[in-house]
């Protein structure tokens, strides 16, 4: 599997896992806060992953 393909696949997989986790949270005020925190965590993880991927592509 080419390097670029595997990294693209991992990005998509991580995104799908984040969406699945967020959608399983029940509704309600306290649950809305939990959902917001999970959303922010997923966004931070995705940003960190993209930053690392970008740095690694510059090194290669």
Pair of tokens at residue 6? 């595997």
Q: How many CB atoms lie within 10 A of CB 46?
A: 14
Q: How far apart are CA 25 and CA 42, in angstroms?
A: 14
Q: pTM for this one?
A: 0.28
Please say if the pLDDT value at position 23 is more than 60. no
Question: When comparing pLDDT for 39 and 15, which is higher?
Answer: 39
Distance of CA 57 to the CA centre of its chain: 19
- The number of folded domains in the chain is 1
Q: What residues make up the domain containing 25?
A: 3-59
């Amino acid at each position: 599997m080419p390097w670029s393909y595997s990294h693209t696949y991992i990005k998509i997989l991580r995104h799908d896992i984040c969406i699945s986790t967020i959608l399983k949270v029940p509704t309600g005020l306290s649950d809305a806060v939990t959902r917001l925190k999970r959303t922010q965590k997923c966004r931070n993880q995705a940003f960190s992953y993209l930053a690392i991927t970008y740095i690694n592509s510059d090194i290669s």
